[in-house]
Amino acid sequence: MFLANIPLNIDWQQILLHLLNFVILVGGLYFILFNPVKKFMDKRKAHYEEMDKKAVDTLSSVKDKEREINEKLANLNQELENKKVAASKEIASLKEAQLAEAQKQAEEIISKATIAAEKEKEKIITSANKEIRNLVSEGMKKVMSSSEDEAIDDFVKTFEGSKKDGSN
Partner 1 sequence: MILASILPIEKIGMEEVSLVSKKRKIISWSVFLGLIAVLLVLVFVIPGNEKTESIQETMQDAVLHERGLISLFGLINVNPGLISGFLVTIILLVFAVIVRIFFIPKFKYVPGKFQLLIEQAVGFFDDLAVSNSPHHNKFLSCYIFGAGAYIFVGTLFELVGIQVVAVNGVSMALPAPLSDINGAIAIGCFSYLVIMAGGIYANKAKGVLLTLKEFSLPISMSFRLFGALLSGLLVSELVYYYLQLSFILPVIVGVLFTLIHALVQTYVLTMLTALFYGEVSEVKPKKKKEKKVKASI
Please tell me the count of residues contacting partner 1 according to CB under 8 A.
33
Considering beta carbons, is residue 14 or 70 the nearer one to partner 1?
Answer: 14
> ∠ CA 19-21-26 to the nearest 5 degrees?
90
Nearer to partner 1 (CB atom), residue 10 or residue 113: 10
80 contributes a contact to partner 1 by CB under 8 A = no
How far apart are CB 6 and partner 1 at their closest, in Å?
Answer: 10
Task: Classify each residue of 62-73 as buried b or exposed e, where b means 16 or more C-beta atoms within 10 Å of its C-beta.
Answer: eeeeeeeeeeee
Contact between 143 and 151 (Cβ < 8 Å): yes
Q: Which residues contact 145 (CB under 8 A, 6 or more apart)?
A: 151
Helix axes 35-145, 148-167, angle to 10 degrees: 160
Q: Are 127 and 143 in contact (CB under 8 A)?
A: no
- C-alpha 10/C-alpha 6 separation (Å) is 6
Max Cα–Cα distance, the chain, nearest Å:
202
- Cβ of residue 58: shortest distance to partner 1, in angstroms? 20
Candidates 3, 5, 9, 168; binder of partner 1 (CB under 8 A) is 9
Query: Residues 1, 3, 4, 8: which binds partner 1 (CB under 8 A)?
Result: 8
Site string for partner 1, 10-49 (x = CB under 8 A): xx-xxxxxxx-xxxxxxxxxx-xxxxxxx-xx--x--xx-
Choice between 34 and 159, CB closer to partner 1: 34
Cβ distance to partner 1 smaller for residue 9 or 167: 9
Give contact residues for partner 1 (rule: CB under 8 A): 8-11, 13-19, 21-30, 32-38, 40-41, 44, 47-48
